Amino acid sequence: MPATVKFRGRTMEVEAGTRVEDVLRKMGLSREGIIARVGSRLVTEDYRLRDGDEVELISAISGG
């Protein structure tokens, strides 16, 4: 069972072992503008996803 990554209402599957920073790079997101949650905990960009992890990327940037 791979890990899943949720961002802005979309979900995608990611292989276990991938780092959060690789996911961000692939999605073209800057790590300066995102926080990443796994379960109820925030993780840093070097975190390697494990099988079954549910990761949510939360945008920190607001307009206005």
Residues that bind another protein (CB under 8 A): 8-9, 30-35, 37, 41-47, 58-64
Nearer to another protein, 1 or 63 (CB): 63
- The rounded distance, in Å, linking the Cα atoms of 39 and 14 is 16
Minimum CB distance to another protein, residue 8 (Å): 7
Of 39, 64, 46, nearest to 56 by C-alpha is: 39
Under DSSP, the state recorded for 48 is B
Minimum CB distance to another protein, residue 41 (Å): 7
Minimum CB distance to another protein, residue 51 (Å): 19
Q: Phi/psi of residue 40, each to 5°?
A: -100, 15
